[in-house]
């Protein structure tokens, strides 16, 4: 008789950490998704191990039904995720075995509806593309680094074709599928029905159909967002992670996995190759991966970037140079993209006269102005009273400079009424169809301005973009995050890549800090310099990739109770601990965090989880909740 250890996919944390033994039918092995009798009802579960004997004194019940089979490697992957990210096996297994809905009527596949038409393969690859492909064919993990339009996507396509020739499948991850209809279209043009699409915008039935096509081996190329890394593909040969610097690869709810790390793990388990591609790679990837470089943009030069010093310009948010650029478009035609990345975080304090941003002396992050007029560090809890004058130049003009996308839209309508305005932010483009409609309108309209949050800087290739502008580059720099400079650099460089792909383009960056390193280096398109400096800074501070971070975030009904819990936690942990530091309140809840720098994130996360489990009853009574985030992407 064969038995299987089954993890029932139930949500209760107490149960979801356990395995139960059942009698297996013939043929069912590790990776089988089954229905089993469980308590007084039944549950869905996954066989995580086949065993010869049942535990002593247990008479296992038989499995009721085998629903389908997952590649066994996905079971190992899920169990690894549960451990590394401090989740439970059941929750991690839900990622690889999502609930399946009933069959539905035939309908056009999402790939057909959600892709733009692609282009044919180029007659000849460039030497640097050939070189990259030759290395990729040898296997391993690589960083494919090259400016926007340098032919990275073509390398993914060719590498996928090579894998297919050897009978192996490919997973292509893109940050947000709604922003990548062109990428999807190119894969579809090249590989036809062999392409499947997976992302959260699909209906349950669509997802089920796509997963079945993948599991049956009909679809050998999967294009999708973060969760597509769990595609039930057998014989995986290649994973491409496009725009690998993008934050959306991190899931911000339990299990808090990072698809880029999971990609590396899955590739290691299945002997596959990974290609991480970006024009603005993460310092982590720059330091750790073999670099394959595509040196030049195909068909056009990178556009010149002009930095506009807002200390010397009236008229924010529309400075004279920016208005002049927009006026030219109104007159001669063309398109403009304006980025104003105003997110819902209390901004930092700037000096209007000299551009100083107030920073934490210990953490090298910007201090955040709180309601109580204190400047606080969200890393370590350092606090100082908000100054009445600038400590550098004595100016009393300290300000949070502010304009959101709506104010910008109003000013544009007044100042350049000839231009058609298309706003793109979470308010106007919440759903994929709205987003697609806005992008189509922009593509088809001359004298149009696409304005919005960081969405506008991502992945689109539009013809005729004569001007790209960052309206307020200080927004990002002011964020209290160790990655603030990295993100600003990426955003400015990415936006610059949207301009002048087919016509001479221009880029304008408005800032109160024209000398800020990320802006100056982005203006020169100097990615290697920025990353070298950034890595040096991270080394000094003991930040990733030199050490790992583990973050414990507590929400509580009072400020004191949350901080007290973290103080107790801190006493039970060793290592390099920052905090507890209070964070700003969200929805009436107080929040606080403890951040650890460590070389052993798994051990530290496991210890934290044990301490939290012990405190759970008291926490429940006091209304406290806690999450542990391993390798957090924002703080
Ligand atoms: P990236 O992914 O780096 O932005 P793409 O792969 O999209 O770059 O390439 C940019 C443009 O250049 C595309 O239109 C693509 O078809 C074209 N292209 C790519 N490789 C070549 C090549 N070897 N010869 C000619 N055109 C190419
Ligand atoms: Zn000053
Ligand atoms: Zn600090």
Q: pLDDT, tens digit, for every residue of 24-73?
A: 999 899 999 999 999 888 999 999 999 988 888 888 999 999 999 999 99
pLDDT of residue 367: 77
Q: Of 455, 528, 477, 482, which Cα lies nearest the Cα of 631?
A: 482
Starting from the CA of residue 361, give the closest ligand: 3
Among 530, 203, 258, 476, which residue's Cα sits nearest to residue 357? 476
Does residue 153 line the site of ligand 1, with CB under 6 A? yes
**What pLDDT is recorded for position 344?**
29
- What's the pLDDT at 19? 86
Residue 544 CB–ligand 1 contact under 6 Å? no
* pLDDT for 55: 84
Q: Which residue of 118, 128, 151, 175 sits with most ligand 1 atoms within 8 Å of its CB, as the best mutation to test the pocket?
A: 151
Ligand 1 site-directed mutation target among 128, 149, 297, most atoms within 8 Å of CB: 149
**Calpha distance 606→620 (Å, rounded):** 20
Burial class (CB in 10 A: 0-12, 13-18, 19+), 571: exposed
pLDDT on residue 303? 86
Look at residue 13 in the predicted model and tell me its pLDDT.
59
Task: Please report which ligand is nearest the Cα atom of 383.
Answer: 3
Among protein residues, the one with the nearest Cα to ligand 1's atom 10 is 149
Predicted pLDDT of residue 140? 97
Is any ligand 1 atom within 6 A of the Cβ of residue 148? yes
Instruction: Give the number of the ligand closest to the Cα of residue 541.
Output: 3
Tokens of 167: 């009978």
Q: What is the pLDDT of residue 346?
A: 39
The pick from 298, 299, 463, 465 for probing ligand 1's pocket by mutation, whose C-beta has the most ligand atoms within 8 angstroms, reads 298
Ligand lying closest to the C-alpha of residue 186? 1
Q: Which atom of ligand 1 is nearest to the CA of 147?
A: 3
Taking the centre of ligand 2 as the mean of its atom positions, its distance from the CA of residue 548, in whole angstroms, is 35
Paired tokens of 456: 């506008």
Cα(478) to centroid of ligand 3, in Å?
Answer: 14
Distance of alpha carbon 418 from alpha carbon 279, whole angstroms: 34
**Hey, which of 116, 154, 159 would you mutate to test ligand 1's pocket, going by the most ligand atoms within 8 Å of its Cβ?**
154
Closest C-alpha to 476, from 461, 463, 494: 494
Q: How far is the CA of 319 from the centre of ligand 2 (A)?
A: 21
- Taking the centre of ligand 2 as the mean of its atom positions, its distance from the CA of residue 354, in whole angstroms, is 4
pLDDT at 12: 65
From the CA of 323, how far away is ligand 1's center (Å)? 32
d(CA 257, ligand 3 centre) in Å: 26
pLDDT of residue 363: 63
Which residues of the chain carry a pLDDT beneath 50?
Answer: 343-346, 401-403
Q: Give the nearest ligand 1 atom to 497 CA.
A: 4
Give the pLDDT score at 420. Answer: 95
* Span from the CA of 513 to the centroid of ligand 2 (angstroms): 11
What is the pTM for the complete model shown? 0.86
The strand order across the sheet containing 506-511 reads: 305-309, 506-511, 465-470, 335-339, 448-452, 420-424
Please report the atom of ligand 1 found closest to the CA of residue 126.
Answer: 23
Q: How far is CA 11 from the centre of its chain?
A: 26
Asked if residue 244 has its Cβ within 6 Å of ligand 1, the reply is no
User: Can you say how many angstroms the Cα of residue 617 is from the centroid of all Cα atoms in its chain?
Assistant: 34
For residue 379, the ligand closest to its alpha carbon is 3
φ, ψ dihedrals at 420, nearest 5° = -85, 130
Q: Measured between alpha carbons, how far is 127 from 195 in angstroms, rounded to an integer? A: 28
How many Å apart are CA 530 and CA 521, to the nearest integer?
6
Does residue 569 sit in helix, strand or coil?
A: helix
């Amino acid at each position: 008789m064969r038995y299987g250890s089954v993890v029932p996919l139930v949500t209760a944390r107490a149960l979801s950490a356990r395995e139960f033994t059942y009698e297996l039918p013939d043929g069912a092995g590790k990776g089988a998704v089954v229905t089993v009798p469980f308590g007084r009802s039944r549950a869905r579960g996954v066989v995580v191990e086949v065993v010869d004997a049942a535990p002593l004194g247990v008479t296992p019940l038989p499995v009721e039904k085998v629903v389908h089979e997952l590649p066994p490697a996905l079971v190992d992957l899920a169990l690894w995720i549960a451990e590394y990210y401090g989740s439970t096996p059941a929750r991690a297994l839900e990622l690889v075995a999502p609930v399946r809905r009933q069959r539905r009527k035939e309908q056009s596949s999402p790939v057909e509806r959600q892709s733009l038409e692609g282009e044919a393969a180029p007659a000849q690859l460039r030497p640097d593309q050939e070189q990259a492909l030759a290395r990729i064919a040898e296997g391993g993990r690589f960083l494919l680094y090259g400016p926007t339009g340098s032919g990275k996507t073509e390398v993914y396509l060719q590498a996928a074709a090579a894998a297919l020739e050897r009978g192996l499948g490919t997973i292509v991850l893109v940050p947000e599928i709604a922003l990548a209809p062109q990428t999807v279209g190119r894969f579809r043009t090249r590989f036809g029905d062999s392409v499947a699409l997976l992302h959260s915008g699909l209906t349950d039935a669509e997802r089920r159909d796509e997963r079945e096509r993948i599991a049956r081996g009909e679809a050998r190329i999967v294009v999708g967002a973060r969760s597509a890394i769990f595609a039930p593909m057998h014989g995986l040969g290649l994973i491409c992670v496009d725009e690998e610097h993008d934050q959306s690869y991190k899931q911000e709810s339990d299990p808090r996995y990072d698809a880029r790390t999971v990609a590396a793990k899955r590739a290691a388990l299945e002997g596959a190759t990974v290609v991480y591609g970006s024009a603005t790679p993460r310092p982590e990837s720059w330091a750790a991966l073999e670099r394959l470089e595509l040196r030049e943009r195909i068909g056009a030069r990178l556009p010149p970037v002009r930095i506009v010093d807002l200390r010397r310009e009236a008229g924010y948010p529309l400075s004279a140079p920016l208005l002049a650029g927009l006026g030219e478009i109104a007159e001669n035609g063309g398109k403009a993209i304006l980025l104003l990345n105003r997110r819902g975080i209390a901004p930092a304090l700037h000096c209007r006269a000299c551009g100083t941003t107030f920073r934490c002396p210990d953490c090298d992050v910007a201090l955040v102005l709180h309601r109580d007029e204190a400047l606080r560090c969200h890393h370590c809890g350092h606090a100082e009273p908000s100054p009445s004058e600038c400590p550098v130049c004595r100016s009393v003009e300290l300000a949070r400079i502010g304009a959101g996308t709506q104010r910008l839209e109003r000013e544009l309508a007044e100042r350049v009424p000839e231009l058609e305005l298309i706003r793109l932010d979470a308010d106007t483009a919440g759903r994929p169809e709205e987003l697609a409609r806005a992008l189509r309108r922009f593509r088809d309209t001359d004298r149009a301005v696409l304005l919005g949050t960081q969405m506008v800087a991502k992945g689109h290739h539009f013809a005729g973009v004569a001007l790209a502008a960052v309206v307020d580059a200080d927004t990002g720099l002011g964020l209290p995050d160790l990655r603030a400079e990295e993100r600003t650099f990426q955003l400015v460089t990415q936006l610059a890549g949207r301009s002048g792909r087919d016509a001479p383009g221009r880029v304008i960056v408005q800032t109160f800090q024209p000398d800020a390193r990320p802006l100056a280096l982005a203006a020169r398109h100097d990615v290697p310099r920025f990353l070298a400096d950034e890595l040096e800074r991270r080394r000094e501070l003991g930040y990733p990739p030199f050490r790992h971070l583990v973050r414990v975030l507590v929400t509580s009904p009072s400020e004191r109770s949350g901080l007290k819990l973290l103080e107790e936690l801190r006493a039970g942990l060793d290592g390099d601990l920052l905090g507890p530091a209070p964070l700003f309140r969200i929805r009436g809840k107080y929040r606080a965090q403890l951040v650890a720098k460590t070389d052993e994130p798994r051990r530290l996360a496991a210890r934290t989880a044990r301490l939290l489990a012990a405190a759970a009853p008291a926490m429940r009574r006091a209304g406290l909740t806690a999450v542990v985030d391993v390798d957090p992407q924002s703080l």
